[in-house]
Amino acid sequence: MRGFLGIATLLGATALPAQTTDNWYSTVEFNPVFSTQSGGEPSFNINYTFNRKVADYVSLGAGVGIEESWKFKGTPMLPVFARVQAEDFSKTFSPFARFDIGYEAGFGDVKGGLMINPTVGVRYGALSLGVGYRGFKSSISGSKFASAVSVNLAYTFGMHGADSEFSRALRKIEFSMGVSALFPCGKGFDEKRTHKVYTQRDEVLVGTQTVGGKLSYNPGGAFSIALTYPVYRNLYLGVSGGISLYSSEDKYFSNMEFEPGGRDLSYGLAGSNYYTYGEFYDFSIDHFMPYESKESDFQVFVAARAKYKFRELTFGGKFFPYAQCDVGYIVHSEDTDKGFYLSPEVGVSLAVGSRHSLDLGIGYTPLRADKYDKSEGVETFGGIYENTYIRPPHGEYSGTKTIGALRISLGYTF
């Protein structure tokens, strides 16, 4: 903790006063957090953010921090987040409103999760005071998602002098923000099985049962941010991160065609509550079939980004193609294991002014999903005998796999 405080102090001490010709600024923040849940202990977090004014009253930025309980009894969490803030930057005194959204990384047995923190307050000079709502994955309360009231105390620094070499270099950094539609291409399953049912004692044909199951992946969406820096002509290198959302849907059915008189055949199990095969089948259908389930998964990735802008191929005066690739890791998945992240994209940019651009692209995004192997044997309802009613061949869970998704993205670079 003392090391983090030292870094924050050093970052603040080395920052120079802001100048009106410089759109960059940074903040060092101390935030007490008071849980609204029963038994939740107070905590605090210390954040460092860097931001850029993109309009007269709006800035965008990103931040990192550390969160811990007041008594240092919990496992520390590391929040990484994006920020949008509105205020009157030209005034000494100004109210402000901002919204932080990101991911809190956990350690050990503590899993990370989504973090949101809308805040309103006032700024006087370099000092600001705010209050907000904080929703986050809590290592302190032990709950899956905790709600809290946060108090924000911050000091604002100009990140660099307007005429310094560092200023000129840092102005070359580009922010990119984008939203995407995801169309999963992964294969689920769609199978059925037909099975003849006989009485258990006399092996008299009761009827023919057909069972089936289907697993499909539904379209989803994604949000990403990136910071890149020109390293050679139109080649940019940097970092990116974001979230992907998608859902899966599975359905099961059963149909029984009884032989004449098959419903009334004796079930024939000692001590059974079901006297006929018809009664047992009705019970099975009531409790097991048909079955439908829809699950959503939320995944977070961090990656390194390489991007090339083909400005030498500019057409129409403002349009130029680009290609980029993100290589990294899925650091959090709500229902599956983590995994490797590789996401290439090609597209066309529309130049807006000297540095801004509107980007339309198409690419590939990996998604983590449950893996199922085909069940070769006959799986029965209740596991009584193989010649009773069976479940569909929906497969056996065998871990996690990567499914691909076609991504159509719309972004803005500035």
Q: What is the pLDDT of residue 146?
A: 74
CA distances to 56, 96, 201 from 28, in Å: 22, 16, 78
The token duo for 216 is 């499909």
Give me the residue spans of the domains in the chain.
2-170, 174-413
Amino acid at 403: I
Amino acid at 398: S
Q: What is the pLDDT of residue 388?
A: 56
Q: How far is it, in rounded angstroms, from Cα 47 to Cα 26?
A: 10
Q: What is the pLDDT of residue 311?
A: 92
Contact 99, 118 (CB under 8 A): yes
Q: What is the pLDDT of residue 188?
A: 72
Contact 235, 173 (CB under 8 A): no
Q: What is the pLDDT of residue 369?
A: 74
Q: Is the pTM of this model over 0.85?
A: no
Q: Write a three-state SS string for the chain.
A: CHHHHHHHHHHHHHCCCCCCCCCEEEEEEEEEEEECCCCCCCEEEEEEEEEEEEECCEEEEEEEEEEEECCCCCCCEEEEEEEEEEECCCCCEEEEEEEEEEEEECCCCCCCEEEEEEEEEEEECCEEEEEEEEEECCCCCCCCCEEEEEEEEEEEECCCCCCCHHHHHHCCCEEEEEEEEEEECCCCEEEEEEEEEECCCCCCEEEEEEEEEEEEEEEEEEEEEEEEEEEECCEEEEEEEEEEEEEEEEEEEEEEEECCCHHHCECCCCCCCCCEHHHHHHHHHHHHCCEEEEEEEEEEEEEEEEEEECHHHCECCCEEEEEEEEEEEEEEECCCCCEEEEEEEEEEEEEECCCEEEEEEEEEEEEEEEEEECCCCCCECCCCCCCCCECCCCCEEEEEEEEEEEEEEEEEEC
Half-sphere exposure for 222 (CA within 13 Å, toward CB): 31
Return the residue matching tokens 């500035």.
Answer: 414
Burial readout 253-285 (b: 16 or more C-beta within 10 A, e: otherwise): bbebebeeebbebebeeeeeebebbbebbeebb
Q: What is the pLDDT of residue 288?
A: 65
Q: How far is it, in rounded angstroms, from Cα 233 to Cα 293?
A: 51
Amino acid at 99: F
The token duo for 210 is 């057909």
Q: What is the pLDDT of residue 107?
A: 62
Q: What is the pLDDT of residue 289?
A: 66
pLDDT in tens, 16-71: 333 334 677 888 899 988 887 766 678 888 888 888 888 889 999 988 888 887 77
CA distances to 53, 286, 317, 348, 356 from 353, in Å: 16, 64, 12, 16, 6
Contact 263, 276 (CB under 8 A): yes
309 - beta bridge partners?
Answer: 322
Q: How far is it, in rounded angstroms, from Cα 276 to Cα 269?
A: 10
Determine the CATH number of domain 2-170: 2.40.160.20
Q: What is the pLDDT of residue 300?
A: 82
Q: What is the pLDDT of residue 182?
A: 93
Q: What is the pLDDT of residue 344?
A: 96
Residue 292, classed as helix, strand or coil, is strand
The token duo for 261 is 């008189």
Could you give the dihedral angle defined by the CA atoms of residues 386, 388, 393 and 397, in that order, rounded to the nearest 10 degrees?
-70
Q: What ranges make up the beta strands (E) of 259-309? A: 291-309
Q: Which residues of the chain have a pLDDT value below 50?
A: 1-21, 139-143, 160-163, 381-387
Q: What is the pLDDT of residue 23?
A: 79
Q: What is the pLDDT of residue 190?
A: 76
Contact 313, 323 (CB under 8 A): no
Q: What is the pLDDT of residue 17?
A: 37
